[in-house]
Chain A
């Protein structure tokens, strides 16, 4: 069974640009979660999508947004990039029923210069 996949592996952007990160969940999983792992800040929840809808978001500004497609894949968009957005962005997926253990992809390393 294929795991969660993310693309690209690495992404280098300039401050002020936009970044788009993509995630494909495990087959049969309807929920997708995005987390940011920044140096010194730990793992922080960004967004949760389920059945195409945004269900919850963490304490991040609106320039962090995303969507979930009918095939349950998801993309995360970060607008007006700032230097502190440099981080590993992890996508996870889970079934739509409890206990909702999440399975993570390898991450996208975003570097903002």
Chain B
């Protein structure tokens, strides 16, 4: 069975501050891990993916995530928040043979001016 836990349903940061969104996963098989972003009334946009290559993954819009097997974590970071980063972020997991994504409950990021 696979599951994803996102700590913090709401995160608020100041513009220019570090963004850290937490994701822990549980998977009985080596996982594929993903981060998606959803802007209001839109679909999901893929930010980045982990597929067992490099443990530090760089994505779009300056985001990156580090896969830590020992901590079963895949936290999303961005060095400097921008107002346009305000959105909801979802961590998701899939595994070999199970291609359906299992999503976390999401973290709403608010960026204060």
Instruction: State whether A42 touches B94 (Cβ < 8 A).
Output: no
CA of A99 to CA of B49, assembled, Å: 9
User: Which of chain B's residues have a CB closer than 8 A to the CB of A103?
Assistant: 46
Give Cα A106 to B40, complex, Å: 11
- Name the CB-closest residue of A to B100: A45
Instruction: For the complex formed, measure the closest distance between the CB of A88 and the CB atoms of chain B, giving whole angstroms.
Output: 8
Q: Please name all residues of chain A whose beta carbon is closer than 8 Å to the beta carbon of B36 when the two chains form the complex.
A: 104
* Total contacts A-B at CB 8 Å: 58
| Chain B, interface SS category | strand
Closest-by-CB residue of B relative to A46 is B100
Q: How many residues of B contact A (CB 8 A)?
A: 22
The one of B34, B49, B99, B103 in contact with A42, judged by C-beta atoms closer than 8 angstroms, is B103
Say yes or no: A104-B94 contact (C-beta < 8 A), given A94-B99, A98-B51, A99-B32. no
Q: How many residues of A contact B (CB 8 A)?
A: 26
Contact with B along A57-95 (1 / 0, CB 8 A): 010000000000000000000000000000000101010
The one of A4, A100, A106 that contacts B32, using a Cβ cutoff of 8 Å: A100
Q: Is B7 an interface residue when CB atoms closer than 8 A count as contact?
A: no
Which residues 39-55 of B have a CB within 8 angstroms of A?
A: 42-46, 49, 51
Give A residues with C-beta under 8 Å from B. 4, 6, 31, 33, 35, 42-45, 48, 55-56, 58, 90, 92, 94, 98-107
